[in-house]
Amino acid sequence: MAEGIVPPLIELLRGLCALEEKFYARGQKQRAERPGGIYSTQAHPNSKALWGYYREAYKALLDPRCTEKLLAQRRDCCQSMGDPADFACLKGPAEVVFTMKSKGKAVVMVRDCDGFGSDCRFELKPEGGGWKIHQVSRNTCGGGPWRTDLYF
């Protein structure tokens, strides 16, 4: 089961990482070109449009891989464009743990992926002929409580 679930999830997370890096670079370029220069507090006139494009591209990549329940409870996505990007650790060797909880539930945990000591756990369920992300949780420092991520 792991061969059919983990590689597509990791490919998706790498795609989200690449997308974030691409839009982060665009944002930095925009920031340097804004009125008043790079240290200005004034936003670039096109910054809202850049965020809109980023959200649409993010959703186009992610939403087909999520269950209806996750999409219904999600508050928003794309809360930040950072350096390093979320899941940048997946460019190199990262610790990924797969657990088949039951016939209809798999859990994939990516350990310390953001470099700040937090782990990310993906609960996947079969829906529409494939395994889709049903819930995303994070914990801090590898030992804190798991908190549902409503912004994934």
Question: What is the distance between the alpha carbons of residues 52 and 60, in angstroms, rounded to a whole number?
Answer: 12
What is the tally of structural domains in the chain? 1
Q: What's the rounded mean pLDDT across residues 78-104?
A: 84
Q: Give the domain CATH number at 87.
A: 3.10.450
Provide the mean pLDDT of the chain: 87
Phi and psi (nearest 5°) for 15?
A: -65, -40
- pLDDT tens digits, 100-119: 999 999 999 998 655 566 78
- pLDDT tens digits, 120-149: 899 999 998 899 999 999 887 666 788 888
Question: What is the distance between the alpha carbons of residues 110 and 124, in angstroms, rounded to a whole number?
Answer: 14
Q: What's the rounded mean pLDDT across residues 20-28?
A: 91
Contacts of 22 (CB under 8 A, 6+ apart): none
Expressed as residue numbers, the domain containing 61 is: 2-148
Question: What is the distance between the alpha carbons of residues 11 and 112, in angstroms, rounded to a whole number?
Answer: 18
